[in-house]
Structure 1
Amino acid sequence: MTTMSPRARVLTGAVAAAVLSAGTFGAMSANAAPAAAPAAAPAQSAARSVSDHHLRTTTHLTIEAATKAAEATLKAAEKDDQRVTVAVVDRNGTTLVTLRGDGAGPQSYESAIRKAFTAVSWNAPTSELVKRLQTTPTLKDIPGTLFLGGGAPVTAGGAPIAGIGVAGAPSGDLDEKYARAGVAALGR
């Protein structure tokens, strides 16, 4: 029998171990069955419908309607040669459309948004809300509001669904006149 050098023995052992490992792994892989998937739970039990008495249906102004109202508002102001900004917000006070007319002052942008927000929040024209400040002066401390004439609510079934705010004319009365023109355009 031939004697192998220590180096040859280590090399031969390593090759044998590699061949044995590869063969064992291959056999195991070939014979392994995929794990059984757990039985699917009925979809109904995982996702249950909410009962109708837990839901509330709301009405929202479309972007097309908001744009129509804003454009009608701006046209009404332009007929009187007034440079204004008009904003339309949804029921939640989120701005849908803002149009800044040519030459409108920089302050008019934010003011129009805040007037629209105020009108929809209280479902009242902002000129009426200004009068409430006499008896409840802390109303003006509510964030995001502006108690100046120029905001008008848009309603459906008596509930507020949007607000239109106008700023930039020389008076709140004029701003509100233009906002009402935008509300009127939605009724056509």
Structure 2
Amino acid sequence: MKHRIYTRLPRTLAVAVPVVAILASAACSTTDTPVANASSTTSISATQQPAATGDSAIVTQNRLSADAAVKAAGAALAKCRADGLGFVTVSVVDRAGNVIAMVRGDNAAQHTVEASREKAYTSAAFGADTSDLSQRTKGEGSTIADLPGTLFLAGGVTVKAGSASIAGIGVGGAPDGMQDQACAAAGRDAIASSLG
């Protein structure tokens, strides 16, 4: 019987009833969401954060600015050119491996593009220079060298804000990985004073 009465209600009333029920339910619930003033937006109080762990649902992450990345890439390439190694590629990536800045030196081979990016990502993700990480790739069976998108050859340096890795600088193309790494370190040094 209840079903028949509901279906006979005018269409606008049938739609309005569920909406009113939802609004009434919302009005009866209690929240501690204060309104700062009538002209501002609603702010969420700390008590609405997940209570079990005290963790926030929002994470703030430090990132290297585009200007700093361009400066680091330029300084790394300048160091390589000064050493007679201008045929390298320099990549600056964030911790997730996204390229912030990249510069390909004159006559740099195509493989140097990906090598520099992978070295930069490896150092950023692991928070260490790739020359220091290469020992972790030794051993039988699977090693961290099997992780896709990584390259555990010298030439990548980590960029840190405090103790947290926020970026990586990778250089590829020099005849020796430690020459790549010296250029990458020069890029890091060029922005070190602005990292705090």
User: How many Å separate the matches in 1 of 2:80 and 2:178?
Assistant: 12
Structure 1 match to 2:74: 71
Runs of 4+ in 1 over 3 A off after TM superposition: 47-50
Q: 1:107-186 alignment to 2 at 5 Å?
A: 107-135=111-139, 138-186=143-191
User: How many Å separate the matches in 1 of 2:84 and 2:102?
Assistant: 19
Gapped regions of structure 2 (runs ≥ 5): 1-15, 28-32, 35-41
- 2:136–2:143: 8 Å Cα contact kept in structure 1? no
User: How many Å separate the matches in 2 of 1:168 and 1:91?
Assistant: 22
Residue 135 of structure 1 deviates from its aligned partner by: 4.2
What secondary structure, in the 3-state scheme, does the structure 2 residue paired with 1:53 have?
coil
1:88 to 74, 92, 96: 92
- Taking only the aligned residue pairs, the percentage that are identical comes to 41
- 2:88–2:108: 8 Å Cα contact kept in structure 1? yes
Q: TM-score, normalised by structure 2?
A: 0.70
Q: 1:4-19 alignment to 2 at 5 Å?
A: none
What secondary structure, in the 3-state scheme, does the structure 1 residue paired with 2:121 have?
helix
Residues 67-104 of structure 1, C-alpha deviations (whole Å, 9 max, x = no match): 01000001011111102100000121111111001111
CA RMSD of aligned residues (A): 2.6
Structure 2 match to 1:53: 55
User: How many Å separate the matches in 2 of 1:184 and 1:169?
Assistant: 19
User: How many Å separate the matches in 1 of 2:132 and 2:95?
Assistant: 19
- 2:93–2:117: 8 Å Cα contact kept in structure 1? yes
User: How many Å separate the matches in 2 of 1:127 and 1:59?
Assistant: 25
Structure 2 match to 1:4: none
